[in-house]
Amino acid sequence: MQGKILLRRHEESPLFLPFLLITTREDIGYATKHLWKVVDELIFLPIEKIELQARIEILLRARRYSIQIKDRLEELELFSHALGHDLKAPLRAIRNFLEFLKEECQESFSEKAKDYFQRIVRASERMDAIQDSLFTFMSTGTRGTVKEKISLNGLLNSILEELKPQVEKKGAKVKADCEKELITDRNLLRLILKNLIENALIYVKEGVSPEVEILCRDEEGFLVIEVIDNGIGIPEDKREEIFKPFVRLHSMEVYAGTGLGLSIVKKAVSLLEGFIGVKPNEKGGSIFYVKLPYRGVKA
């Protein structure tokens, strides 16, 4: 019977033919011979005709929505591919020609031409950064999550080693104390922590050396990770808005960035079924906190 139902489903593709099992046997259950894999709903008699029609309509509507979502996801996948490959090619060509101009012609440039040249270089660099951020935003979570046991201190040490040139350039002090283990997706957690630490290194007042501290604690079934900085702070009325894509509180001339970093972080946190927020640091700056559910591992 199950084989016949699956065959009929295949024949109806891409349309949707819902299968309802209507029975008087209350002991049949969905678990009977894996019936739940092929039957969309189990209905016990007696049932009113209007209720039966309503259940069928709900199943059909849900299928229509799922097909629409599938189509949109496929479009996003194509868009993401274009960002990662097709749109990179002309940008690479522009930057290559800029290098040729610099090597062959820069000495003959007037002061105004040099200024224009540097503006083009900066614009191409910004475009490259925006494309990378868009690709990260679009692709985050598209291939699902892979759970594994992670040492937070081990992960943080790896991230800080990667960020070492930026830390040294800024003369920053970074302290991490997270003697915790968590079962979660390593890539998403790395994306979250790296973005938050990078922001803490960037958004400081001129002439101030960044000071960053990463702490962890248990809180009612969640692991709370705090990234504490001595940066410029965030106005109270902007603490929700900053997690939206392309929201910037300052111009790119003042602070570098694409306006996508925190929206990427929020997306990654949501995929891990967690929460993110920001509050003021009493000593000046901000405290970004991420709450992630424990998955059976506590230090």
Residue labelled with tokens 């937070």 = 152
**Structure confidence at residue 228 as a pLDDT band (50, 70, 90):** very high
Under 8 Å between Cβ of 91 and 128: yes
CA 288 to chain centroid, in Å, comes to 16
pLDDT reading at 74 higher than 60: yes
> Given a cut of 60, is residue 297 above it in pLDDT?
no
Of 23-32, 193-202, 229-238, the least confident: 23-32
Q: Distance between alpha carbon 155 and the CA centroid of its chain, in Å?
A: 18
> Peptide bond before 293: cis, by omega within 30 degrees of 0?
no
- The more confident residue out of 284 and 247 is 284
**In the 3-class helix/strand/coil scheme, how is the chain assigned residue by residue?**
CHHHHHHHHHHHCCCCCCCEEEECCCCCCCCHHHHHHCCCEEEECCCCHHHHHHHHHHHHHHHHHHHHHHHHHHHHHHHHHHHHHHCHHHHHHHHHHHHHHHHHHHHHCCHHHHHHHHHHHHHHHHHHHHHHHHHHHHHCCCCCCCEEEEEHHHHHHHHHHHCHHHHHHHCCEEEEECCCEEEEEHHHHHHHHHHHHHHHHHCCCCCCCCEEEEEEEEECCEEEEEEEECCCCCCHHHCCHHHCCCCCCCCCCCCCCCCCHHHHHHHHHHHCCCEEEEEECCCCCEEEEEEEECCCCCC
Tell me: pLDDT of 13 over 60: no
Is pLDDT larger for residue 43 or for residue 83? 43
Highest mean pLDDT among 8-17, 130-139, 230-239: 230-239
Q: Is the pLDDT of residue 12 over 60?
A: no
Q: How confident is the model at residue 299 (pLDDT cuts 50, 70, 90)?
A: very low
Q: What percent of the chain has pLDDT over 90?
A: 22
